[in-house]
Amino acid sequence: MLRWTIIFLVVALIAAVLGFGGIAAGAAGIAKIIFYIFLVLLVINLIMRLVKK
């Protein structure tokens, strides 16, 4: 999942450099959402590991 965040971030950076503001904003927004989902899943996983032991 973190791989997708990095891919969308790179797409946003390339689109911004080339002047495609709308595409860059959309890709950056998607990257931000996926990153937050990744963080939530990471915290849930860490809590589950602590409870399991």
Mean pLDDT for all residues in the chain: 90
Note whether 34 and 7 are within 8 A (CB).
Answer: no
**Within 10 Å of residue 13's Cβ, how many Cβ atoms?**
14
Give residue 8's pLDDT. Answer: 87
Assess whether pLDDT exceeds 80 at residue 38: yes
pLDDT digits (tens, 9 = 90+) for 7-25: 988 999 999 999 998 988 9
Query: Which residue, chain included where needed, has tokens 């990471």?
Result: 42
46: tokens are: 């860490």
**Cα torsion at 19, 23, 24, 29 (round to 10°)?**
160
Give residue 4's pLDDT. Answer: 85
Assess whether pLDDT exceeds 90 at residue 51: yes
Assess whether pLDDT exceeds 80 at residue 53: no
